[in-house]
Amino acid sequence: MDKNIGRYSFIAGVVIAIVLGLTLPINDTVATWLTSVLVIMGLVVGFLNITHSETKEFLTLATILVVIAYAGGVGYNGMENRAVVGGYLAGILNSILVFVVPAAVVVALKEMSNLAKD
């Protein structure tokens, strides 16, 4: 049951990140609520979906995704100023950051706790 909740939270989180990225340049009120939902869903994924055996792979991929999303969303000389889709692409990448970072922090803390026990 917990695995299904985590799986559905992950899928819903990615979908909400895309929706948030598309609405971010348009509607700040919706963006505020969806950002809060993304953080909570990231925490749920971190607590329920990632097992001990998946930790290294998840943290590696999360780190890569965070670097890519940060570079594409913020670092590329203000992606939001690029063409028509720049603002939307930057919004999607930043929303992915909001979703993935809490999950990665939870998984990293769980793994550190496991290492401290050993």
pLDDT band at 25 (very low <50, low <70, confident <90, very high): low
DSSP one-letter code for 80: G
Model confidence over 59-108: pLDDT tens digits? Answer: 999 999 889 888 776 655 555 566 677 777 778 888 889 999 999 999 99
Q: How many CA atoms lie within 13 A of 18 on its CB side?
A: 5
User: Using CA atoms, how far apart are residues 61 and 79, in angstroms rounded to an integer?
Assistant: 23
pTM: 0.81
Q: How many CA atoms lie within 13 A of 87 on its CB side?
A: 9
Residue ranges of the domains in the chain?
A: 2-117
- Residue 79: per-residue pLDDT: 57
